Amino acid sequence: MSEVNWDPPTASSNSTNSTIYFDAENEADSDQAEVSCSTTVTDNFNGHETTKNLTADDDGTHFMPMASVCKTMTATTLTDEEASVDKPQSATTASSSRPLAKALDLHESVDTEVNIMSHDPTWKGQKKHIFILSEAGKPIYSLHGNEDKLAILFGIIQALVSFVENSQDVITSIKARGIQFVFMVKSNLIFVAASRTHLSVAQLQMQLNDAHNQIISTLTYSQLTKIFNQRKNFDLRRLLEGSERLINNLLLNDSSGKKISNNVFAFLTNSIRILPLQSSVRTSISQAIKENCSKIKNLVFAILLAQNRLVSLVQMKKYSIHPADLRLIVNLIECSESFKPSENWTPICLPKFDMNGYLHAHVSYLEENSPACLLLLSVDRDAFFVLSEAKQAITEKLKRSQCIEAINEAVMQTTRGKQQLNSIGIPELRHFLYKPKSAAQILCSEIVAPYTNLLDFERLESLYCDLLERIRNSKRPLKLILETRSNEVALAWSTEYYELFVVFDPLTQKSSVTKDVDKLIKWIEKEYDTYFIRTHPTF
Amino acid sequence: MHNLQRKVDVSIRSFYIFNSTYGLKEGHEKEKVLFYHPKDIELNTKISDIGLSQAFTTFTDTFTDEPGGCEVIHTEKTVQLLYQAEPKFWLVLVLNVPKEMLTKDGVDYAEYHPYELHDDIYRRVLIMAYERFRMQEGTFEMILEENPDNGREILVDKLEEFFDKYISSLKLPAEDIFEFMRSLQYLPLDKVLFLRVHNFMESLKSTYSTIKDSLFLYKNTVVTCGRFHSTQLYTLYRFVLEHLTTAASGEMTTRDAKHSVHKLYINTKDGIKPYRMVIYTSTNVNLCLFFEQQCNEITQQYLEDIGNVLSTQLYILSRDIEDYLSKQTNTTGKSTPASCGGDSDYGTKYLFINDQSLKMITNLGEDDTQRKTKLSQNILNVMADLFTISEGDNKESDMSIPSQEEIMVKSTDDFWVVKRHGNWRQRFVIVFSTKPTLLDMTKEAERIFTEHDIKDGVFSDK
């Protein structure tokens, strides 16, 4: 319990000089540098050290020194080849139509080279591809396949984007038979999705936004823009090393990752799932957190999660956490087995909270083998020991009040899905989603047969994707949809107060659908405080 | 301060046709361009537009084993619709997205409304443009094969002649639901009268074995439509109607010219073949007969003879149909016999389409004879969302029985649409009111579906 895990550095400090500088900004190693390497740093490392201190706190004016450090570094440490590509921006725009012409002139060579990779049936057969590249065309990320082998494809994407940009326009999407492509240009990066799933353009855009947020969360926006202002063709992969798994997990939250889970519905509705708890239990949990944290300065958020579900959230007055930020946090916890046995101290940027600065997160599980994970996020980079103490106290309190047991019990309950549905008393009910309009929270009934089978789940997912798109999209929103198909009857209903999506057995009559929906709504209203959190307390 | 200045509607930015295998050598790129509208555009722009379209198709092909599937490209300001009509021949329609010009803090800016353009509706416009060309001039390949020496030049001339006119006749925004659904108005006749028409056609065909197919129209409605494939039928129907309107508005047809002859390329089971279409007219009836183009027997005299044989019969049929229709009007007090309702307060509209015969039964636009009633953009797009486009524009549509489905939607701006799909029929019921509840709507739709199920049984579809 007392073991402290300083996140290991993700790259060795003896790589090239230019890497050292940027590595220091990486996801997790900031304080490691300070704690363990302070005596062995090189000149360059010292340079980085100062900037590090500044990024940790905030942004803006403090960044000026970093720019100058950066400049001197580029001047002194870059190889000729690297330096020569650092052209002023105007030059890039002028020449940006060239790659397209080149891609077309070399039509045949493009065909053959691209095909080397696209001949691979597994690659081609993927349900979803996501590519991230810099505006200069440098590969950064590909969900499937090695980016280096896809260099030509990245080149074509870059050429298409910049060609359209040259006519003062922006490419947003392409539809081909059976495939939907979505483009997004943000923070000097190009994001592309190619999908054979049922996700709509808007839903794919949300995924690209998630990927963008994850990158910001690792590097911060100011850092990112600084890098590309300095060097248009910087290879960002060096800085993102280690965070690919986070991006992968975010992007594979739907059935394209062969997962059967309600997580995708939380994503699609941009909301978070709540661990069902009696409201008295939840109150004593947040009370325990409040009591032990209210005196700690600079503590912004205290978040207790269990199994991807929110147990409790306590916020600093006047601040609130955006669902997109919360999703990043949930994703981080889901992906990081290494958090389990120890206390952790990790910097994290929450793009919607402050895209230019890091928060520092004390992350730990309440007890060994407990599914409950507590995050204490502070702007103070030296708060580790204070937060560690608070965590101890919180755990003690929760243990005494048997709240940990209650959480364990609630987590166990979630795996006994059919019981929850049965307790509502609607036999033809198969699955439902309920989202109050006043909160970014969603109630998803547990997944039961037939949807425990991947093929059937894919059908369920595509049904919900479609209903959600029709109900939520700004294009031509609908209030109510009732769809009768051979496999199921589905209803989507958007009222002033909530959105409801329900799937019934295929032979359910419309007259019983209305009765069932009434019954379901009554049940949810009765149980509301168990499944939702009305207000998040403040410190 | 936002302040509405003006709205700019959708417009055609460009329309071009190219062959991706032409002009591969450097300096010869212009050979790719077969047609480009508008004309007064620099050649370099034309070439680079085509290059971009081609780059998009290459890009999307990377992800699939079935190349040529690139359909729509959206940018903030444009929608580009692509259609590979024949191998390596692409048609591209580029639209300017509708926008609103706004002023904020003294700065003008445009707000784009891409959602007003429904991809399916505009892609249908593009595909229909090609199908119309193909029907009148044959496929691009045929034109090239017929002219081994100067095929490209001939093709370019033909494209220019056809599309200059066609594009100027296009009406934007495209908002004709009947055109999008390619539906035809059939004339509802009673059994006896229908069988008389049918028998007349059959006996005519058995007397003149040269007649390959036929289309019998009364005013602008179809009475019988022969064996045309549904993908061909709509284009043909539109052509005949347009021809009749221009003929009627033009100089009075003299008594001798009772028929007009057209060479048309018809898509049959055995591929696309040239036919000679002859239209015989008698008062409100137009009978189109189709002969093989190559048939030597078909002389002017031969056609005259058929015309003489037909004329009395056609006249009598036309008169009897007219009598029948006026009787219908007197008994029901309505001009369209298919109307139902009366016992409903909702002013329910309906639109039923048979995917195979394209037969449409509707009371949309019932009140004005021109059928010009416009649905609002929103309801049109919602219906287009719900409409299932039959697969395979050129292929035989697959014959497996589609599963029975029903979808009921309520919009945020006061209308309900119920769509039932199955048995090769797509049926829509529309109510312009949010008053009815889900159950009311279910009952109302059920009432209309049942009423028409009975009627559908009485009148043979084909």
DSSP 8-class letter at A42: -
Contact A103 B69 (CB under 8 A): no
Please tell me whether residues A288 and A395 are part of one structural domain: yes
Residue B454 above 80 pLDDT? no
> Between chains, do B55 and A156 touch, taking CB under 8 Å as contact?
yes
Residue B289, C-beta contacts closer than 8 angstroms, at least 6 positions apart:
B211, B213, B214, B277, B278, B280, B306
pLDDT at position B274: 92
The mean pLDDT of B208-236, rounded to a whole number, is: 88
Per-residue pLDDT tens over the stretch A337-358: 888 888 999 999 999 999 999 9
| CB distance A462 to A476 below 8 Å | no
Number of residues that this document lists for chain A: 539
Q: Is A110 part of the contact surface with chain B (CB cutoff 8 Å)? A: yes
Which residues, numbered 82 to 101 in chain A, qualify as contacts with chain B under a Cβ-Cβ cut-off of 8 Å?
100-101
Searching chain A, which residue's CA lies closest to the CA of residue B123? A175
> What is the reported pLDDT for A65?
31
Residue A145 sits in the same domain as residue A159: yes
The reply to whether A330 falls in a domain is: yes
Give the model's pLDDT for residue A386. 92
What are B96-153's pLDDT values in tens digits? Answer: 999 999 888 888 899 999 888 999 999 999 999 999 999 999 999 999 999 999 999 9
The mean pLDDT of chain A is 79
Domain stop point among A413, A432, A454: A413
Given this model, what pLDDT does residue B309 score?
86
Of A114, A475, A513, the CB nearest to B115: A475
Residue B231's pLDDT is 79
Confidence (pLDDT) at A80: 35
Q: What is the mean pLDDT of residues B251-275?
A: 74
How far apart, in whole angstroms, are the C-alpha atoms of residue A538 and residue A289? Answer: 10
Which pLDDT does position B160 carry in this prediction? 95
Decide if pLDDT at A45 tops 50: no
Predicted pLDDT at B367: 52
Per DSSP, A346 falls in state E
Residue of B nearest to A482 (CA): B408
What pLDDT is recorded for position B449?
86
Do A409 and A426 lie in a common domain? no
Asked if residue A80 belongs to a domain, the reply is no
The CB density around residue B144, as the number of other CB atoms within 10 Å, is: 17
First to last CA, chain B: 60
What is the rounded average pLDDT for all residues in chain B?
84
Distance from CA of A91 to the nearest CA of B (A): 21
Contacts 24+ apart (CB under 8 A), B233-237: B233/B184, B233/B357, B233/B358, B234/B128, B234/B182, B234/B183, B234/B184, B234/B358, B235/B128, B235/B131, B235/B132, B235/B135, B236/B135, B236/B264, B236/B266, B237/B184
The answer to whether residue A71 sits within a structural domain is no
Pair (A232, A331) in one structural domain: no
Q: Closest residue of B to A184, CA-based?
A: B75
Q: What is the mean pLDDT of residues B413-439?
A: 86
Question: Is the backbone of residue B182 left (phi > 0), alpha (psi -120 to 50) or beta?
Answer: left
Asked if B64 lies within 8 A of A178 by C-beta distance, the reply is yes
Give the pLDDT score at A93: 37
Cβ pair B406:A484 closer than 8 A: yes
CATH of the domain at A495: 3.30.450
Closest CA to A211 of A112, A351, A347, A54: A351
At A9, the pLDDT band (50, 70, 90 cuts) reads: very low
Question: Is the domain of A218 the same as that of A311?
Answer: no
DSSP three-state, residue A134: strand
Predicted confidence (pLDDT) at residue A211 exceeds the cutoff of 50: yes
Facing residue for B442 by CB, picked from A179, A475, A510: A510
What's residue B217's pLDDT? 92
Please tell me the distance from the alpha carbon of residue B32 to that of residue A305, in angstroms, as a whole number: 60
Q: Where are the domains positioned within chain B?
A: 6-123+134-168, 184-332, 349-389+402-456
Q: Within this chain, do residues A443 and A390 fall inside the same structural domain, yes or no?
A: no
Q: pLDDT value at position A522?
A: 94
Count how many pairs of residues, chain A against chain B, have C-beta atoms within 8 Å: 139
Q: Look at residues A392, A413, A434 and tell me which one is the last residue of a structural domain.
A: A413
CB B59 to CB A478 under 8 A? no
Q: Are strands A478-484 and B405-411 parallel, antiparallel or unpaired?
A: antiparallel
> What confidence category does residue A505 fall into, taking pLDDT thresholds of 50, 70 and 90?
very high
Cα angle: B86, vertex B228, B82; to 5 degrees: 25
Same domain as A381, residue A427: no
Please answer yes or no on whether B412 and A479 come within 8 Å at the CB atom.
yes
Strands (E), A379-510: 429-436, 441-444, 478-484, 489-494, 498-504
- Contact assignment for B26 to A479 by CB distance below 8 Å: no
Quote the pTM value: 0.84
3-class secondary structure, A234: coil
Q: Which of B223, B237, B217, B456 is nearest to B352 (CA)?
A: B456
- Cβ-defined contact of A124 to B52 (cutoff 8 Å): no
From chain A, the residues in CB contact with B411 under 8 A are 476-479
- What span, in angstroms and rounded, lies between the C-alpha atoms of A433 and A216? 30
DSSP letter at A538? B
Query: Between B424 and A248, whose confidence is greater?
Result: A248
Whole-angstrom distance, CA of residue A407 vs CA of residue A413 = 10
Query: Same domain, yes or no, for A470 and A363?
Result: no
Contact residues, chain A, for B51 at CB < 8 Å: 100-101, 104
Class of domain B6-123+134-168: alpha beta
Burial class (CB in 10 A: 0-12, 13-18, 19+), B84: middle
Residue B4 confidence class, pLDDT cut points 50, 70, 90: low
Query: From its phi and psi, is residue A408 left (phi > 0), alpha (psi between -120 and 50) or beta?
Result: alpha
In this predicted structure, the answer to whether residue A66 has a pLDDT above a threshold of 60 is: no
**CA-based torsion, A97, A172, A181, A191: positive or negative:** positive
C-alpha to C-alpha distances, A145 to A123, A124, B256, nearest whole angstrom? 7, 10, 74
Residue B78: what pLDDT? 96
| Same domain assignment for residues A467 and A408 | no
E strands, A28-142, in order: 128-134, 139-142
Same domain, A138 and A228: yes
Residue A169 C-beta-side C-alpha neighbours within 13 Å: 18
pLDDT of A397 > 60? The answer is yes
pLDDT of residue A99: 44
Burial state string for A476-497 with b = 16 or more CB within 10 A and e = fewer than 16:
bebbbbbbbeeebbbbbbbeee
Lowest-confidence range among A220-229, A280-289, B431-440?
B431-440
Could you tell me which residue, A149 or A223, shows the higher pLDDT?
A223
List of residues 6+ apart from B292 with CB closer than 8 A: B210, B212, B273, B274, B275, B276
Q: Do B438 and A482 touch (CB under 8 A)?
A: yes
Q: Which residues pair with B215 in a beta bridge?
A: B288
Q: Is the same domain home to A334 and A407? A: yes
The answer to whether position A103 is within a domain reads no
Confidence of residue B180 (pLDDT cuts 50, 70, 90): confident
B381: chain A residues, CB-CB within 8 Å: 475-476
Which residues of B are less than 8 Å from A115 in CB distance? 62
pLDDT of residue A452 exceeding 50, the answer is: yes
Split at pLDDT 50, 70, 90, the class of A17 is very low
Whether chain A has a CB inside 8 Å of the CB on B109: the answer is no
Total domains, chain A: 3
Residues A189 and A291 in one domain: no
Residue A173 in this model has a pLDDT that exceeds 60: yes
CA-CA-CA-CA torsion for B52, B57, B59, B61, nearest 10 degrees?
-170
Q: Is B410 on the interface with A (CB under 8 A)?
A: yes
pLDDT at B412: 83
| Within a domain: A259 | no
Q: Does the structure show a pLDDT above 60 at B313?
A: yes
- For A105-114, B83-92, B231-240, which range has the lowest pLDDT when averaged over its residues? A105-114
Q: Which domain holds residue A429?
A: 417-531
Report whether A327 contacts A351 (CB < 8 A): no
The domain that holds A322 is classified in CATH as 3.30.450.30
Q: Is A382 on the interface with B (CB under 8 A)?
A: no
Domain boundary among A413, A444, A464: A413
Sign of CA dihedral A35, A40, A45, A49: positive
Mean pLDDT to the nearest integer, A184-198 = 94
| Model pLDDT, residue B325 | 87
In this prediction, residue A441 carries a pLDDT of 95
**What is the percent of chain A where pLDDT is above 70?**
77
Any CB–CB contact under 8 A between A317 and chain B?
no
Structure confidence at residue B366 (pLDDT): 59
Q: Average pLDDT of B336-348?
A: 54
Question: What confidence score (pLDDT) does residue A338 get?
Answer: 84
Question: What is the topology classification, in CATH, of domain B184-332?
Answer: Beta-Lactamase (3.30.450)
pLDDT of residue A55: 34
- Percentage helix, strand, coil for chain A under 3-state DSSP, each rounded to 5: 50, 20, 30
Residue B319: is its pLDDT beyond 70? Answer: yes
Residue the block writes with tokens 């808007």: A202
Mean of pLDDT values over A220-227: 92
Residue A452: inside a domain: yes
**Residue range B11-28: average pLDDT?**
91
* pLDDT band of B2, cuts 50, 70, 90: low
pLDDT recorded at residue A117: 61
Q: Is residue A143 part of a domain?
A: yes
Q: Of residues A12 and B290, which shows the higher confidence score?
A: B290
More confident residue, B348 or A189: A189
Burial of B80 (0-12, 13-18, 19+ CB in 10 A): buried
Q: Cβ–Cβ contacts within 10 Å for residue A373, how many?
A: 23
* Fold match flag (B6-123+134-168 vs B184-332): yes
Give φ, ψ of A250 to 5 degrees: -65, -40
Q: Which residues contact B442 (CB under 8 A, 6 or more apart)?
A: A510, A511, B408
Q: Summarize the confidence of residues A268-276 as an average pLDDT.
A: 93
